[in-house]
Amino acid sequence: MVRALVVLIRWVGVIAVVLAANMASLALAQTTVDPEARCAQLVAFYDRYGVGRSTNSVGRRNHTRIAAELDCQRGDYQKGIAIMEDLLRRKAFTVPPPALPETVPPLEAPEYGV
């Protein structure tokens, strides 16, 4: 009886290690998002949710947003991402987690009204 319990505990430990390794590899795969796609995701998120319906909303004309988009177009993705994340936080948004590459539509996609 005791021997069977020891074997069972060992198998549970092996299964736990395998599951932990799989979860770590999944987390790593999710964090390796293309910076260009991340930049586009944040700009599109702001364009969709940061634009108000009032007459004094700056929305897409926000100079910080425009500067971040220009940084991304010039290839300075890390600067553009940092600017957009800061802008979203200052506008009281929760910064969205990086999306998997296949789930980020281009900025010209109809989902974003562009």
Looking at the fold, whether 69 and 103 belong to one and the same domain comes out as yes
Count up the domains in the chain and report the number.
Answer: 2
CA distance 53 to 46: 14
Q: Based on the fold, state whether residues 7 and 40 are members of the same structural domain.
A: no
The pTM score is 0.59
Average pLDDT, the chain: 78
State pLDDT tens for residues 77-111.
999 999 999 999 998 889 999 876 565 555 565 55
- Are the beta carbons of 44 and 107 closer than 8 angstroms? yes
Query: What is the extent of the structural domain holding 63?
Result: 35-112
pLDDT (mean) for 4-26 = 70
